[in-house]
Amino acid sequence: MALADFARRFEDSLNRRGTVKRVEKGWRPSIIGFTGYGSTQSLHVLGRAVMADPDAKPLFKPPRLPTSTHTVVKEALDHAEKLSETAQRGWRQFFTTQVGFLPVTVWAGNRMISTRTDRSGYFDVLVEDHGLEPGWHEVRIEAAASEPITAKVLIVAPSARRGLISDIDDTVMITWLPRMVLAAWNSWVAHTNTRQPVPGMAEFYQEVLSEYPDAPVFYLSTGAWNTLPTLEIFLTLNGFPTGPLLLTDWGPTPTGLFRSGQEHKKTQLRNLIITFPDIRWILVGDDGQHDPLILDELAREHPRHVAGIAIRELNPVEQVLSHGMTEAIDDPRLDGHDEARHGVPTIRGEDGYELLIKLHELNARRKERR
């Protein structure tokens, strides 16, 4: 038996025992709704089923539809203050017992879809011909033996021609930790409201999106879904645009003990291109790991769907913490001329402020060519 098979069986056995113990204590399945997304033709509704104590207060409030920026920020600040008062630490997010193969029903617009969670308790339901208009909406999710919930979903306008896809760790959020312990520290030890933004990145995103009010924004990370609530709070508190987060599950797979972060990003990027064929994407990442290679590969394969690439360059200390060396490990540049190979403009900078300068320089050169 392969090690990955053994790990999956051990995880399933451990989870089954945990489920039985919690049922005996009166716990029931509970649905966590992630932010879904889609077009006017099809919609992805995402979530997870875990065991929960019905008498305990939820660690995080269910997400609400965006209203005004002031309201959203105020609610996030109030919530962060409560987290600080109780010294809530992120490790509690990971002490969950997932409910695999649980019957789930999704009500979205004029459609009803029935499915089951996977072995890890996750579900990703594709709802076609839902009838929802562009904008933010709520969908209803029901599951066996659990209370119904609502989850927010974003329907991208058919007129949208630009979109932004951003990495999180080391791109919008400073980590200052070795990559091998980063996920554990951020999720298990560090207070959920003490993360620091990369200077100027929120302003950079605002400038990039200023000409495209209907542009969707997605955050693509190899982080675990368990960290979703704290990441949403972090992005809101620090002025980043609202958008769905596409995270992953850390559990064992048929081919390994852990899921491949690179494959997760590549798959999600291609899924977004397929879902929104008329959008040209602005891709933002950092050079601490494999983002430059992944984004460069996408630009070479789908140059018509990529409007530009922005890479945050880590300093030598951050590079060492990321992968053990002082220089980037995956730099696809040939003599520094990215655009010469795939025709996609590429800018680089140590933070959002330098990227803003490079963006203005790029726009100035474009005007001179006209």
**Window from 32-36, 40-44, 59-63 with minimum mean pLDDT:** 59-63
The number of beta carbons lying within 10 Å of the beta carbon of residue 150 is: 17
The pLDDT value given to residue 224: 81
pLDDT, residue 151, reads 95
pLDDT band at 262 (very low <50, low <70, confident <90, very high): confident
Q: What are phi and psi of 32, to 5 degrees?
A: -105, 120
CA angle 72, 248, 88 (to 5 degrees): 50
User: Which token pair is 147?
Assistant: 């209370």
Could you give the CA distance from residue 264 to residue 256 in angstroms, rounded to a whole number?
Answer: 14
Share the mean pLDDT of the chain: 80
In which residue are the tokens 């594709």 written? 126
Domain range list for the chain: 3-369
Identity at 358, one-letter amino acid code: K
Contact, 202 vs 162, CB < 8 A? no
Pick the more confident residue, 231 or 302.
302
| pLDDT given at position 148 | 95
Q: Which residue has the higher pLDDT, 259 or 217?
A: 217
Query: How far from the centroid of its chain's Cα atoms is residue 330's Cα?
Result: 22
Quote the pLDDT of residue 194: 56
Q: What is the DSSP letter of 227?
A: G
Rounded to whole angstroms, how far apart are CA atoms 287 and 338? 14
SS3 call for 347: strand
Written as six digits, the tokens of 329 are 């490990």
pLDDT of residue 108: 98
Lowest mean pLDDT among 13-17, 46-50, 288-292: 13-17
pLDDT at 336: 46
**Model pTM above 0.85:** no
pLDDT tens, position by position, 294-332: 999 999 999 999 999 999 998 766 655 555 555 556 665
Q: Which fold has domain 3-369?
A: Rossmann fold (3.40.50)
